[in-house]
């Protein structure tokens, strides 16, 4: 078992037994589901919208090369500098170099999962730069030295009491656990940082090829301040974020708000096309866009799972996933958690080390049903399992499955299994629920049903109408 798998298992044991955590997440996500469904109902044809979104993403991914070139040309025409990073290390280097060239001491950052993916904050801190997360949820988890719990709701696992506590410890300012008062504390701290920061770093929700624009969706205005106040702006985005046309946003912006947060439309939707243009009153003097591959092209080359690049990082597959809801976001140990994380991580970071994420699923398909861009999520988990077992089978499992076929298919052997099962069942109480129990994984928490005194096939052969019973 890989070390990641061992950690996953240990954390899953702890979190599934934590009933307070279970209650917190179930309640939060049940409320989300109500809001999401209200907003979904406002679409004239939700299924039609999903089909269209999937089609647009398929088009963008199929023409990724030309879309990215178009995006780059248009951005550069307005004075932006576009950088191409094949790996996370390259992206870190590009960004650290820009920050160093500006002699920056402080960077303010709005939400970017790509930043988490490449461990950008660590790289900047190593370079001696202070990094401040400006999204409220990200700000809170940063104070706690934690990664985000969820790709959309980073601090969803915390109660207001816990947030007050960390504000008290780190900011020495927490008048009460009233959310509005706590938000005002964060706001006072952050407003100073925007003014002091030399560089602002953002992620992106979409990139429009046709017009060469970066689209950022947010609810707090923090990304706008991050982009507008510092003299240098850097946007880091995965290459799959590109959409062909501006009008595509007319679908994607409300869709993302609906499934992402149960909102009609997000509070702020802003398009960034380049640095401050002549005659403009504000905006950064320099604008850098870093396009990140980091193995996304491996998914692009995989015809079977290419649709995983459709992902708009809305988090809706996490929200409906009963595994996510029970083990929580941190247990995955990955930047992208939940079903999409379980699908892409083994493909981006190593199949054998991360395959356990694809096995840790009942394959219920709630994710696929919830995905607004129709990624075949739970079937991809099966395909990851197939690929990992084919590349590196577990010897005893392979033997067990090889043997199962002749046994379950033979009348004699199957009745022998039935008889042995009945015998074993009589002895089972001696070891049931103990470590000696061969069915311990099941019987630790669950009862096993008895083998029937007469199986269906035994009954079938005993019927008077059965040919063997007619003279």
Partner 1 sequence: MTVTLFIPCFVDLMYPRVAISMVTILERLGHKVVCPEEPACCAQPAFNTGYWDESRPMAEKLLHQLKDAEVVAVASGSCGAMIKVFYPELFAGTPHENLARQVSARCYEFSDFLVRRLGVTDLGARFDARVTFHDGCHSLREMRIYDAPRQLMAKVKGLQLVEMSQTVCCGFGGTFSAKFPMISTAMGEVKCQNALETKADYIVSNDSSCLMHIQGLLDRQGKSMKTIHLAEILATT
Binding site for partner 1 (CB under 8 A): 9, 12-13, 16-17, 22, 26, 30, 322-323, 325-327, 359-366, 368-369, 382, 385-390, 393, 397-398, 401-402, 404-405, 408-411, 414, 418, 421, 441-442, 444-452, 454-461
In terms of DSSP bridges, do strands 213-218 and 268-272 run parallel, antiparallel, or are they unpaired? antiparallel
CA distance 118 to 138: 16
DSSP per position, 198-257: SEEEE--SEEETTTTEEEEEESSSHHHHHHHSSSEEEEEEEGGGEES-GGGHHHHHHHHH
CA distance 92 to 74: 24
Question: Do residues 258 and 40 lie in contact, with contact meaning Cβ atoms separated by under 8 Å?
Answer: yes
In the complex with partner 1, the residue whose CB is nearer, 127 or 439, is 439
In the complex with partner 1, the residue whose CB is nearer, 44 or 445, is 445
Smallest gap from Cβ 151 to partner 1, in A, equals: 20
Question: Do residues 384 and 346 lie in contact, with contact meaning Cβ atoms separated by under 8 Å?
Answer: yes
Question: Do residues 266 and 257 lie in contact, with contact meaning Cβ atoms separated by under 8 Å?
Answer: yes
Smallest gap from Cβ 386 to partner 1, in A, equals: 5
Question: Do residues 298 and 347 lie in contact, with contact meaning Cβ atoms separated by under 8 Å?
Answer: yes
Using alpha carbons, list the distances in angstroms from residue 450 to 31, 35, 446. Answer: 40, 44, 13
Nearest CA to 212 among 68, 74, 79, 84?
74
Rg (CA), the chain: 27
In the complex with partner 1, the residue whose CB is nearer, 302 or 455, is 455
> What six digits make up the tokens of 422?
């009945």
In the complex with partner 1, the residue whose CB is nearer, 192 or 410, is 410
In the complex with partner 1, the residue whose CB is nearer, 35 or 385, is 385
Smallest gap from Cβ 417 to partner 1, in A, equals: 8
Smallest gap from Cβ 16 to partner 1, in A, equals: 4
Handedness of CA 173, 175, 176, 179 (dihedral sign): negative
Smallest gap from Cβ 35 to partner 1, in A, equals: 15
In the complex with partner 1, the residue whose CB is nearer, 185 or 370, is 370
In the complex with partner 1, the residue whose CB is nearer, 101 or 408, is 408
CB atoms under 10 Å from CB of 389, counted, come to 15
In the complex with partner 1, the residue whose CB is nearer, 101 or 400, is 400
Smallest gap from Cβ 447 to partner 1, in A, equals: 4
Smallest gap from Cβ 44 to partner 1, in A, equals: 22
Smallest gap from Cβ 432 to partner 1, in A, equals: 11
């Amino acid at each position: 078992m890989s070390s990641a798998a061992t950690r996953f298992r240990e954390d899953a044991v702890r979190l599934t037994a934590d009933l307070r955590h279970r209650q917190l997440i179930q309640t939060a996500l049940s409320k989300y589901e109500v809001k999401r469904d209200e907003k979904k109902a406002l679409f004239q044809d939700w299924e039609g919208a999903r089909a269209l979104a999937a089609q647009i993403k398929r088009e963008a991914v199929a023409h990724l090369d030309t879309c990215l070139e178009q995006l780059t040309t248009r951005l550069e025409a307005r004075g932006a500098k576009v950088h191409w990073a094949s790996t996370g290390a390259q992206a870190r280097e590009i960004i650290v170099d820009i920050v160093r060239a500006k002699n920056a001491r402080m960077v303010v950052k709005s939400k970017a999962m790509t930043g988490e993916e490449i461990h950008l904050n660590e790289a900047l801190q190593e370079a001696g730069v202070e990094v401040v997360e400006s999204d409220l949820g990200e700000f809170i988890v940063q104070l706690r030295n934690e990664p985000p719990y969820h790709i959309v709701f980073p601090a969803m696992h915390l109660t207001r009491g816990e947030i007050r506590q960390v504000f008290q410890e780190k900011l020495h300012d927490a008048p009460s656990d009233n959310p509005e008062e706590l938000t005002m504390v964060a706001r006072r701290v952050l407003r100073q940082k925007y003014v002091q920061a030399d560089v602002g770093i953002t992620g992106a929700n979409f990139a429009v090829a046709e017009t060469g624009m970066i689209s950022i969706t947010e609810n707090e205005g923090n990304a706008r301040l991050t982009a507008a106040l510092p003299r240098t702006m850097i946007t880091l985005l995965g290459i799959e974020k590109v959409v062909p046309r501006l009008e595509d946003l007319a679908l994607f912006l409300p869709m993302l708000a609906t499934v992402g947060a149960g909102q009609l439309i997000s509070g702020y939707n802003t398009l960034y096309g380049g640095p401050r243009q002549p005659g403009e009153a504000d905006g950064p003097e320099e604008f850098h866009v870093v396009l990140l591959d980091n193995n996304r092209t491996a998914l692009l080359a995989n015809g079977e799972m290419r649709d995983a690049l459709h992902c708009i990082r809305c988090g809706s597959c996490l929200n409906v996933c009963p595994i996510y809801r029970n083990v929580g976001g941190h247990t995955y140990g990955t930047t992208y958690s939940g079903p999409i994380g379980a699908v892409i991580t083994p493909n981006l970071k190593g199949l054998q080390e991360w395959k356990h994420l694809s096995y840790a699923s009942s394959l219920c398909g709630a994710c696929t049903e919830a995905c607004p861009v129709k990624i075949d999520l739970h079937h991809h988990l099966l395909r990851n399992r197939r690929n990992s077992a084919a590349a590196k089978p577990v010897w005893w499992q392979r033997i067990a499955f090889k043997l199962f076929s002749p046994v379950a298919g033979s009348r004699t052997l199957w009745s022998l299994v039935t008889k042995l099962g009945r015998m074993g069942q009589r002895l089972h109480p001696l070891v049931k629920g103990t470590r000696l129990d061969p069915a311990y994984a099941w019987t630790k928490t669950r009862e096993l049903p008895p083998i029937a005194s007469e199986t269906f096939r035994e009954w079938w052969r005993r019927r008077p109408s059965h040919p063997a019973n007619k003279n």
